[in-house]
């Protein structure tokens, strides 16, 4: 079989900020909703294996349909803000959309599902239209709504389904904002209310059934910080009719009767225990999954709970007394985050997972050596809102991205010591801001400029602690990296003051801890509260979320003032000497581009030309031309003047531009890029057109040459949808044609080859190479596409890892590896669907 042209190398994403959005399968796959997609994540391989795209709005609830024989699941149910439920089915190892349930008139917030007789699935869903619906999904690929329960003006926060002990009758529990748990039994396809369980004093946030030894246990958790466990068991005919014996003290039992066919059975519900241990709202409860041991189904009696107090607790009854007690408590201490929305446990109970208010996954693994000890595990992470811009570092070793979640994040491959395949992870969060981030530009290996929805640009430089940890994780030589980043006066790290927006540098001297004597004598109130929250880390693996939030910030070294409105785009030249910036504009006076010197951070020049917001800028690879595209549907090209004695600093002058009559694009130009030889540039627009322009020749003589007319060199490529991002691959194809990537508004990425020699008249100069398939594509607009600056796949090249082979063997191995790597190029994409994706593209397969 021919190798695929495009393979997904990494997806950086996080869970949506809603309670029931994560579910862990018996086959070890974690499914979670991320924006409008469902991600299938492998916690052992530490990568997203697949994305299920089908919803048109945020996914709020995800649930695997567990099988009674504990085999890996073949069905998954998801519910979203598009008021729909989708049942996904595994076919040939891939999950495809099998059944759609339409009927709710509000966003679906909770789902649960069980098999009534395989493969018929009974699905319960709760939505913010104040109803709970029961659906039957059969083979025939259709869903029948069996019953709708209406709760007037109330809402049900969670639903859970189970089969009554000793029968195949489904029982449904719903917990809602009336502080009660309602129980319903299905008879003749209808739901009959059998009981209401009272006791909670605030909204019930989660309910979960578990079947144990012929009885059912129901756990319910609430905003009153308590968890209640209820026991449901079958009563024999005589039990139900005996008079109450007042001499025995026991919990009050509520009894209900269920008629099935001709027989009727009686069930009793009593309160088993109340668990108090959390100090804030309890959002989720989850029972440890059952497993087969020696051919018998074992159900461990162990309950996990997650709370807004930032902790998860594992509860179980004590062996002797049977009293329920707290076994383990894990969680974050301090930090500026809110708590956990939900929790899940791995099939064997050796790992527990929580998802937090900011979408981050938190994993703890049981320590193999020390009994009862749990330690944080490595997971993936990503932005929890639209990603606006991204950039590779000049060497192509890591990616920086900025997003509307007000963060700047740094992703790099983690090269493990045991020689396993490298996986990508977030290893630093250089900037956590108070404004939505909009754009960034790298200036040097460990320095960048970023712009947010404010008028100021901020410049950041990596601290020593980051460089050392980056070396450990990426497997590079620490000495090399430190010499490249002028290590003599680097601060250790950075921290943000309590009410500030700027990251302040923390130096070695600031880290000296106070002695006991100093602590006794506070000279002022402010001395009682430490100014720096930074603790230097020595990492050999990617850090967990609490470290990312607090200990991986980069110090801010400069602020640049000059724009009158919110920042919109940035660019830096290949020599890293000039940065261009532009802000939102509705008038020509604000639409000017400002140029800054990276050595002095002074404003060098203002370039006026456009009348509306400049949407993107790009310096040519030889750093001699600056291309600017705008919302006014035109582009302008600026030429760098040769330095003179009067002005040693770079100055730019207008070289060419399109006007109203010469513009080919009829809508906003979203994006632009240069070919690697600086001869051609490409523009892409909302009018679905992609056009290559040229030829850009500059005379080397001192006197300015007459402006060479720059016109479209290619036929107009219609890509069928608004082209929001475009990028030229820096590596040419084998026949010297150019490879371009085009990102569309509906999330797809297309690859084209453009051959300048071909006759553009018939459109033969463009050749379509490949496009992302449904599971690889984004679910919303592609915001930015950036190719890795050199060939090869990051984290795969053999940089400075010393092997134990002979030198000659190693030489041949390295040559073979280099040859194989040179056939690959990498493309990074940022999207409004909260994700950053990295694709490996095989040039030989093109």
**What does the pLDDT look like over 302-334, one tens digit per residue?**
999 999 999 999 999 998 898 999 999 998 766
Residue 707: what pLDDT?
Answer: 57
Q: Are 414 and 529 in contact (CB under 8 A)?
A: no
Residue 803: what pLDDT?
Answer: 42
Whether pLDDT at 248 is above 70:
no
Cβ within 8 Å of residue 118, ≥6 positions away = 67
Cβ within 8 Å of residue 466, ≥6 positions away = 428, 430, 446, 493, 552, 554
**Of all residues in the chain, what percent carry a pLDDT higher than 70?**
91
Residue 17: what pLDDT?
Answer: 94
| Cα 752 to chain centroid, rounded | 28
**Integer Cα distance of 346 and 335 in angstroms:** 27
pTM of the model: 0.92
Residue 361: what pLDDT?
Answer: 94
Query: Burial level of 803, CB count in 10 A (0-12/13-18/19+)?
Result: exposed
**Integer Cα distance of 377 and 119 in angstroms:** 36
Q: Higher confidence at residue 346 or residue 253?
A: 346
Q: Work out the average pLDDT over 515-538.
A: 60
Please provide the DSSP assignment of 480-503 as one string: HHHHHTTGGG--SEEE--TT-SSP
Q: Are 425 and 412 in contact (CB under 8 A)?
A: yes
Q: Work out the average pLDDT over 790-801.
A: 73
Residue 250: what pLDDT?
Answer: 66
* Residues written for the chain: 846
Q: Work out the average pLDDT over 409-417.
A: 92
- Residue 804 pLDDT grade (very low, low, confident, very high; cuts 50, 70, 90): very low
Residue 242: what pLDDT?
Answer: 47
Residue 142: what pLDDT?
Answer: 79
Residue 825, CB half-sphere, CA atoms under 13 Å: how many?
Answer: 23
Q: Higher confidence at residue 478 or residue 45?
A: 45
Whether pLDDT at 117 is above 90:
no
- DSSP one-letter code for 381: -
Whether pLDDT at 705 is above 80:
no
- Residue 351 pLDDT grade (very low, low, confident, very high; cuts 50, 70, 90): very high
Q: Are 609 and 628 in contact (CB under 8 A)?
A: yes
Q: Are 383 and 51 in contact (CB under 8 A)?
A: no
Per-residue model confidence as pLDDT tens digits over 19-64: 999 999 999 999 999 999 999 999 999 999 999 999 999 999 999 9
- H-assigned helices in 405-477: 464-474
Per-residue model confidence as pLDDT tens digits over 723-734: 999 999 999 888
Q: Higher confidence at residue 207 or residue 417?
A: 207
Closest CA to 698 of 642, 737, 738, 628: 642
Closest CA to 445 of 474, 424, 418, 403: 474
Whether pLDDT at 402 is above 80:
yes
In terms of average pLDDT, the best of 253-262, 412-421, 545-554 is 545-554
Whether pLDDT at 530 is above 70:
no
Q: Higher confidence at residue 762 or residue 572?
A: 572
Whether pLDDT at 417 is above 90:
no
Q: Work out the average pLDDT over 336-363.
A: 91
Whether pLDDT at 347 is above 80:
yes
Whether pLDDT at 520 is above 70:
no
In terms of average pLDDT, the best of 126-130, 246-250, 732-736 is 126-130
Residue 335: what pLDDT?
Answer: 61
Average per-residue pLDDT for the chain? 88
Q: What DSSP element (H or E) covers 821?
A: helix 807-821
**Integer Cα distance of 769 and 739 in angstroms:** 9
Cβ within 8 Å of residue 20, ≥6 positions away = 60, 61, 62, 63, 109, 110, 111, 158, 206, 284, 342
- Residue 508 pLDDT grade (very low, low, confident, very high; cuts 50, 70, 90): confident
Whether pLDDT at 532 is above 50:
yes
- Residue 223 pLDDT grade (very low, low, confident, very high; cuts 50, 70, 90): very high
Angle 677-683-684 from CA coordinates, rounded to 5°: 140
Q: Are 306 and 344 in contact (CB under 8 A)?
A: no
Q: Higher confidence at residue 241 or residue 252?
A: 252
Residue 800: what pLDDT?
Answer: 42
Per-residue model confidence as pLDDT tens digits over 372-387: 789 999 999 999 999 9
* 73-87, 155-169, 415-429: least confidently modelled range: 415-429
- Residue 450 pLDDT grade (very low, low, confident, very high; cuts 50, 70, 90): very high
Per-residue model confidence as pLDDT tens digits over 536-563: 888 889 999 988 988 899 999 999 999 9
Closest CA to 777 of 739, 753, 751: 751
Closest CA to 409 of 701, 815, 14: 14
- H-assigned helices in 695-763: none
* 243-252, 270-279, 645-654, 759-768: least confidently modelled range: 243-252
Three-state secondary structure readout of 97-163: EEEEEECCCCCEEEEEEEEEECCEEEEEEEECCCEEEEEEECCCCCEEEEEEEECCCCCEEEEEEEE
Residue 700: what pLDDT?
Answer: 62
Residue 802: what pLDDT?
Answer: 39
**Integer Cα distance of 53 and 659 in angstroms:** 41
Q: Are 392 and 514 in contact (CB under 8 A)?
A: no
The strand ranges marked E within 404-492 are: 407-414, 423-432, 437-442, 447-452, 457-461
- Residue 627 pLDDT grade (very low, low, confident, very high; cuts 50, 70, 90): very high
Residue 384: what pLDDT?
Answer: 95
Angle 314-180-254 from CA coordinates, rounded to 5°: 90
Please provide the DSSP assignment of 229-247 as one string: EEEEEEE-HHHHHSPP-TT
Query: CA dihedral in degrees (363, 340, 326, 201; nearest 10)?
Result: -160
**Integer Cα distance of 816 and 657 in angstroms:** 47
Whether pLDDT at 699 is above 80:
no
Cβ within 8 Å of residue 663, ≥6 positions away = 633, 634
- DSSP one-letter code for 310: S
Q: Work out the average pLDDT over 796-812.
A: 56
Q: Work out the average pLDDT over 63-69.
A: 92
Q: Are 205 and 281 in contact (CB under 8 A)?
A: yes
| Max CA pair span of the chain | 111
The neighbouring-strand residues paired with 191 are 186
Residue 238: what pLDDT?
Answer: 54
Whether pLDDT at 494 is above 90:
no
Closest CA to 28 of 275, 363, 358: 363
Q: Is the peptide bond before 695 cis (omega within 30 degrees of 0)?
A: yes
Residue 696: what pLDDT?
Answer: 84
Closest CA to 112 of 180, 171, 188, 26: 171
Q: Work out the average pLDDT over 614-634.
A: 95
């Amino acid at each position: 079989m021919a190798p695929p042209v495009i393979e997904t190398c990494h997806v950086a994403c996080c869970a949506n900020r809603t309670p029931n959005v994560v579910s862990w399968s018996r086959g070890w796959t974690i499914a979670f909703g991320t924006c409008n997609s469902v991600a299938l994540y492998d916690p052992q391989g530490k990568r997203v294996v697949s994305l299920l795209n089908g919803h048109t709005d945020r996914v709020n609830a995800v649930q695997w349909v567990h099988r009674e024989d504990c085999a890996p699941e073949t069905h998954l149910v998801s519910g979203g803000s598009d008021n729909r439920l989708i049942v996904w089915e595994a076919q040939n190892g891939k999950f495809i959309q099998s059944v759609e349930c339409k009927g709710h008139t509000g966003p679906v917030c909770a789902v649960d599902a069980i098999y009534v007789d395989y493969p018929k699935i009974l699905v319960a869903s709760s939505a913010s239209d104040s109803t709970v619906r029961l659906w039957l999904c059969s083979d025939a690929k259709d869903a029948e709504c069996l019953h709708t329960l209406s709760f007037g003006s109330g809402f049900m926060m969670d639903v859970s389904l189970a089969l009554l002990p000793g029968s195949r009758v489904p029982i449904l529990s719903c917990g809602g904002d009336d502080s009660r748990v309602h129980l319903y039994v299905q008879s003749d396809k209808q739901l009959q209310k059998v009981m209401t369980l009272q006791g909670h004093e605030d909204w019930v946030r989660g309910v979960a059934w578990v079947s144990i030894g012929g009885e059912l246990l129901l756990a319910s958790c609430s905003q009153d910080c308590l968890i209640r466990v209820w026991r449901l068991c079958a009563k024999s005919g005589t039990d139900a009719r005996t008079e109450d014996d007042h001499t025995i003290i026991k919990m009050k039992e509520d009894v209900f009767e269920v008629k099935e066919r001709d027989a009727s059975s009686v069930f009793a519900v009593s309160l088993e225990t109340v668990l108090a241990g959390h100090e804030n709202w309890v959002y989720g409860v989850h029972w440890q999954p059952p497993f087969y041991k020696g051919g018998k189904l074992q159900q461990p009696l162990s309950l996990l709970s997650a709370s807004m107090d930032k902790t998860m607790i594992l509860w179980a009854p004590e062996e002797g007394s049977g009293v329920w007690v707290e076994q383990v408590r894990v969680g974050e201490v301090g930090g500026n985050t809110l708590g956990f929305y939900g929790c899940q446990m791995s099939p064997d109970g050796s790992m527990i997972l929580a998802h937090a208010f900011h979408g981050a996954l938190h994993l703890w693994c049981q320590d193999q050596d020390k009994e009862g000890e749990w330690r944080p595990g490595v997971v993936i992470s990503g932005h929890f809102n639209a990603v606006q811009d991204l950039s590779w570092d000049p060497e192509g070793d890591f990616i920086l991205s900025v997003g509307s979640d007000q963060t700047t994040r740094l992703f790099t491959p983690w090269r493990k010591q045991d020689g396993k395949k490298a996986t990508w992870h977030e290893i630093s969060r250089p900037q956590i801001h108070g404004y939505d981030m909009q754009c960034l530009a790298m200036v040097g290996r460990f320095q960048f400029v970023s712009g947010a929805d404010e008028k100021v640009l901020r410049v950041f430089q990596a601290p020593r602690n980051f460089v050392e940890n980056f070396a450990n994780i990426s497997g590079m030589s620490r000495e090399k990296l430190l010499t490249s980043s002028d290590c003599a006066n680097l601060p250790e790290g950075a921290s943000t003051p309590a009410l500030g927006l700027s990251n302040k540098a923390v130096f070695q001297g600031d880290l000296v801890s106070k002695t006991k004597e100093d602590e006794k004598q506070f000279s002022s109130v402010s001395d009682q509260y430490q100014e720096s929250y930074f603790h230097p880390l020595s990492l050999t693996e990617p850090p967990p979320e609490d470290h990312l939030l607090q200990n991986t910030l980069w110090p801010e070294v400069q602020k640049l003032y000059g724009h009158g409105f919110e920042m919109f785009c940035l660019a830096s030249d290949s020599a890293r000497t000039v940065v261009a910036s532009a802000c939102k504009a509705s008038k020509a006076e604000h639409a000017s581009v400002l140029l800054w010197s990276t050595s002095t951070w002074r404003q060098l020049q203002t370039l006026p030309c456009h009348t509306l917001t400049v949407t993107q800028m790009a310096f040519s690879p030889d750093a001699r031309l600056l291309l600017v595209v705008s919302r006014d549907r035109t582009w302008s090209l600026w030429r760098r003047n040769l330095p003179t004695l009067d002005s040693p600093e770079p100055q730019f002058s207008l070289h060419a531009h399109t006007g109203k009559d010469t513009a080919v694009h009829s809508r906003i130009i979203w994006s632009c890029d240069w070919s690697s030889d600086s001869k051609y540039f490409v523009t892409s627009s909302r009018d679905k057109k992609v056009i290559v322009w040229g030829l850009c020749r500059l005379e080397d003589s001192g006197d300015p040459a007459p402006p060479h007319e720059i016109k479209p060199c290619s036929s107009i490529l219609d890509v069928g949808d608004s082209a929001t991002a475009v990028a030229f691959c820096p590596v040419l194809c084998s026949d010297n044609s150019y490879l371009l990537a085009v990102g569309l508004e509906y999330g797809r990425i297309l690859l084209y080859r453009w051959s300048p020699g071909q006759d553009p008249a018939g459109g033969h100069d463009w050749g379509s190479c490949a496009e992302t398939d449904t599971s690889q594509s984004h679910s919303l607009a592609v915001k930015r596409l950036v190719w890795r600056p050199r060939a090869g796949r990051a984290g795969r090249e053999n940089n400075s890892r010393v092997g134990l082979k002979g030198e000659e063997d190693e030489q041949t191995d390295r040559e073979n590896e280099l040859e194989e790597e040179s056939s690959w190029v990498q493309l990074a994409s940022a999207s409004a669907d909260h994700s950053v994706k990295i694709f490996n593209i095989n040039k030989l397969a093109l």
